[in-house]
C-alpha cells in the first residue's frame, strides 16, 4: 500500500478511514492499517478518552504508520494545543461557526509566524529530538493538518469564509449536529440540509480544500463521494463490533435451530 501523509490526503483524491470511539487498544492501528485504511479519526468529544489515552494512541498509530486525526473535545486552545503536543498529525475541532473561530484554531495549532502556539520542543510531537528551532517550527507547521467541523447552521452559512482561512485543510461535515442545528434532526433529505451540504462542498472546492464526513454504510460512502466528499470515514469501532457480533450470534442460533435468547 502506498503511504500518504495526512497533509497529502487533504490535497485531493479519495481517502478512507475509520472512527475510533471505544477501542483504544495497542493493536487497533495495525488492524486498520492492514484493512487498507488511509487514516484514523480518534474521538475525544463523545468517547470519554483522556489525554493520557490519546498520548498512548498516537504511538499505536505511529507504529502502524497510520495518519491520525484527533477530534478535540472543544474549541478551547488548551485542548487543541495539548493534542498537537502529543504528536497527532491532524486535529478536528467541533462546531466551527465562522472565520474568526477558524483563525483562532489555526493560531492555536501553528507556530510563529503562522500562529501563536505555545512552544514546547524535544517532546512527543517532534519525537523527543533536538534541532534548530526555526526548522522545528517549519516542520510542525507543514505537518499539522486542521479539520474544521461544519455542523451548525452558522457554520454552513459561513462555510465559504471558513474555507478561505489559510491553514484550514478540510471542511468536515457533522451531519447529525448540522441537521439538529437546522431544526430537522436526522432528516438528511430535507432541502435545508442538502442546501447546506451543497454550500459546504462549493466553498471547499472554491478554496482548494477537501470535504469529509462519517458514513454508516458502503452504499452511502459511494454516493457521498460522487457528491464531492473526498475523505470518507467508514463507521466506528463500537457500531461495527456490535453489528457483526449481533449478526453472528443470531446466525449461529438459527443454524443450530436454537430459539433466540437461549444459552
Quote the cell numbers at residue 174.
Answer: 457533522
253 by Cβ neighbours in 10 Å (0-12 / 13-18 / 19+) ranks as middle
For residue 27, whether the previous peptide bond is cis, meaning omega lies within 30 degrees of 0, is no
Give yes or no: 46 in active site. yes
Q: At what angle do helices 28-35 and 51-63 cross, to 10 degrees?
A: 40
Q: What is the pLDDT of residues 131-140, one digit of tens each?
A: 999 999 999 9
Mean pLDDT calculated for residue range 201-208 = 98
Query: pLDDT band for position 3 (50/70/90)?
Result: confident
Quote the cell numbers at residue 155.
Answer: 457554520
The residue behind cell 475525544 is 44
Contact 172, 213 (CB under 8 A): yes
Query: For residue 82, what are the CA distances in angstroms to 51, 107, 222, 253?
Result: 8, 14, 35, 48
Instruction: Spot the catalytic one: 18, 30, 46, 190.
Output: 46
Query: pLDDT band for position 215 (50/70/90)?
Result: very high
- Could you tell me the domains of the chain? 6-237 (3.20.20.60)
Amino acid at each position: 500500500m502506498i503511504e500518504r501523509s495526512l497533509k497529502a490526503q487533504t490535497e485531493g483524491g479519495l481517502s478512507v478511514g475509520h472512527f475510533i470511539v471505544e477501542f483504544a487498544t495497542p493493536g487497533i492501528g495495525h488492524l486498520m492499517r492492514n484493512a487498507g485504511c488511509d487514516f484514523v479519526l480518534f474521538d475525544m468529544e463523545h468517547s470519554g478518552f483522556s489525554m493520557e489515552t490519546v498520548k498512548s494512541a498516537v504511538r499505536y498509530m505511529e507504529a502502524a504508520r497510520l495518519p491520525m486525526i484527533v477530534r478535540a473535545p472543544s474549541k478551547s486552545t488548551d485542548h487543541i494545543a495539548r493534542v498537537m503536543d502529543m504528536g497527532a498529525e491532524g486535529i478536528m475541532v467541533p462546531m466551527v461557526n465562522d472565520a474568526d473561530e477558524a483563525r483562532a484554531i489555526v493560531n492555536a495549532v501553528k507556530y510563529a509566524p503562522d500562529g501563536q502556539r505555545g512552544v514546547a520542543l524535544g517532546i512527543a510531537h517532534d519525537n523527543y529530538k533536538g534541532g534548530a528551532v526555526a526548522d522545528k517550527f517549519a516542520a510542525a507547521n507543514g505537518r499539522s493538518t486542521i479539520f474544521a467541523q461544519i455542523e451548525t447552521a452558522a457554520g454552513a452559512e459561513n462555510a465559504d469564509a471558513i474555507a478561505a482561512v489559510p491553514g484550514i485543510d478540510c471542511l468536515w461535515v457533522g451531519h447529525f449536529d448540522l441537521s439538529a442545528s437546522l431544526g430537522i434532526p436526522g432528516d438528511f433529505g430535507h432541502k435545508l440540509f442538502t442546501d447546506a451540504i451543497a454550500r459546504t462542498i462549493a466553498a471547499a472546492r472554491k478554496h482548494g480544500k477537501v470535504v469529509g464526513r462519517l458514513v454508516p454504510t458502503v452504499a452511502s460512502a459511494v454516493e457521498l463521494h460522487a457528491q464531492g466528499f473526498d475523505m470518507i470515514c467508514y463507521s466506528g469501532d463500537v457500531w461495527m463490533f456490535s453489528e457483526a457480533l449481533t449478526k453472528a450470534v443470531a446466525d449461529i442460533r438459527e443454524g443450530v435451530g436454537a430459539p433466540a435468547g437461549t444459552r
